[in-house]
């Protein structure tokens, strides 16, 4: 099979690899669509993300959908031909975190495109059958691939406890912020404001349901029950928490530039604000599929480009070079 391999920072080479064989309870999936994530771009540019270092050739890509091409022994949940979306991290299922239902924090998770585990910018990938979810016919392969970033948004809204009638502030209108915004609406939020410096993205936000868009640093957000911070900018964190009502919640999704950050502690304390962050997601795929299949979110709206597998490097570059780019898809 073909695979787009990160050979070193800044270089993607299309290589021939042996098609993997599915083991017991695993399925082989012919990949049809893969979304490019900011983490893919970061690995491509820097060869690492914090403690995760690419020391050997690595296949990137972890937002993926395709068709089951073969099944391993004991597989009961899928058959050849099933259209599926892939939850990219398979946890151990036994550790303290897994047992508690927090499998996103499993220290032994095997996660696509996280060194040294290969991802899905390739013709095929194998995955445990329980982490392949059947796609309804009404959902395209592209939408199927985007169940992954949609999961990030669902997890953030769950952590924040977003519910009907809530007022939500989303800071940062990148792919994640834009999805969080849609998800907040799908959770019933009736005031969803989103801020960014990129007015093209704000216009997209407005088209996909934002009740108000804010130019960062210029417009003041309204009081919010919940902040979901998706920019990673320290200033956005502080300003965002400033908008949260007493006893509200701030969920930090965007990773910042450094290990530590300045928070408005006096406000957090005297107003009993809850602050937390998210790391991936757990138990979100069925919800993601249900929301997409019922038209509660519009994922096609954020797709701005399509690339063939042999143009994966272009797909990784376009995000930086084109301010109008939001989410680009690679098609093996």
Please, which of residues 262-321 interact with a second copy by CB under 8 A? 262-279, 282-283, 286-288, 290-291, 293-294, 296
Least distance (Å) from a second copy to the CB of residue 289? 8
Strand partners, 192: 168
Taking each helix axis as running N to C, give the angle between helix 147-160 and helix 175-186, from 0 to 180 degrees, rounded to the nearest 10: 60
Helix axes 199-207, 175-186, angle to 10 degrees: 20
* Residue with smaller CB distance to a second copy, 280 or 317: 280
Q: What whole-number distance in Å separates Cα of residue 328 and Cα of residue 231? A: 19
Binding mask 88-117 vs a second copy (x if CB under 8 A, - otherwise)? Answer: ----xxxxxxxxxxxxxx------------
**Binding characters for a second copy, 171-210, by CB under 8 A (x = yes):** ------------x--xxx-xx-------------------
Nearest Cα residue to 213 out of 233, 187, 191, 241 = 191
Select from 270, 225, 258 the least CA-distant residue to 243.
Answer: 225
Q: What is the length of the chain?
A: 332
Q: What part of residues 206-245 is at the interface with a second copy (CB under 8 A)?
A: 237-238
Dihedral over alpha carbons 211, 245, 241, 219 (to 10 degrees): 40
Strand residues in 147-243 grouped as ranges (E): 167-171, 191-196, 212-215, 224-229
Q: Which is nearer to a second copy, 60 or 185 (CB)?
A: 185
The 1-40 site mask, x for binding a second copy (CB under 8 A), equals: ----------------------------------------
Q: How many of the chain's residues bind a second copy (CB under 8 A)?
A: 70
Q: Footprint of a second copy on this chain (CB under 8 A)?
A: 50, 92-105, 128, 130, 154, 157-159, 163-165, 183, 186-188, 190-191, 237-238, 246-247, 252-253, 255-256, 258-279, 282-283, 286-288, 290-291, 293-294, 296
């Amino acid at each position: 099979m073909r695979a787009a391999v990160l050979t070193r920072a800044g270089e993607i080479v299309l290589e021939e690899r042996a098609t993997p064989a599915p083991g017991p309870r695993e399925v082989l999936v012919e990949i049809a669509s893969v979304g490019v994530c900011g983490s893919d771009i970061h690995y491509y540019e820097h060869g690492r993300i914090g403690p995760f270092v690419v020391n050997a050739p690595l296949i990137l890509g972890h937002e993926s959908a395709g068709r089951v091409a073969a099944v391993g022994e004991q597989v009961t949940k899928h058959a050849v031909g099933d259209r599926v979306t892939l939850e990219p991290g398979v946890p151990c299922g036994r550790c303290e975190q897994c047992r508690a239902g927090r499998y996103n924090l499993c220290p032994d998770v095997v996660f696509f495109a996280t060194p040294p585990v290969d991802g899905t910018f390739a013709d095929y990938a194998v995955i445990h059958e329980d982490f392949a979810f059947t796609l309804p016919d009404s959902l395209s392969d592209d939408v199927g691939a985007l169940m992954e970033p949609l999961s990030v948004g669902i997890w953030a809204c769950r952590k924040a406890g977003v519910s009907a009638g809530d007022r939500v502030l989303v800071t940062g209108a990148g792919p994640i912020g834009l999805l969080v915004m849609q998800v907040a609406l799908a959770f019933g939020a009736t005031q969803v404001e989103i801020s960014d410096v990129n007015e093209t993205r704000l216009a997209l936000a407005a088209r996909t349901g934002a009740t108000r868009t804010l130019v960062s640093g210029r417009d003041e957000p309204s009081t919010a029950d919940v902040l979901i911070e998706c920019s990673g900018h320290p200033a956005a964190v502080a300003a965002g928490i400033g908008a949260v009502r007493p006893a509200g919640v701030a969920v930090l999704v965007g990773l910042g530039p450094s290990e530590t950050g300045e928070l408005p502690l006096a406000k957090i304390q005297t107003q009993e604000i809850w602050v937390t962050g998210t790391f991936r997601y757990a138990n979100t795929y069925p919800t993601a599929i249900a929301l997409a299949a019922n038209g509660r979110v519009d994922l096609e709206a954020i797709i701005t480009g399509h690339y063939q597998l042999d143009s994966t490097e272009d797909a990784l570059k376009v995000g930086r070079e084109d301010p109008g780019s939001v989410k680009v898809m690679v098609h093996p």
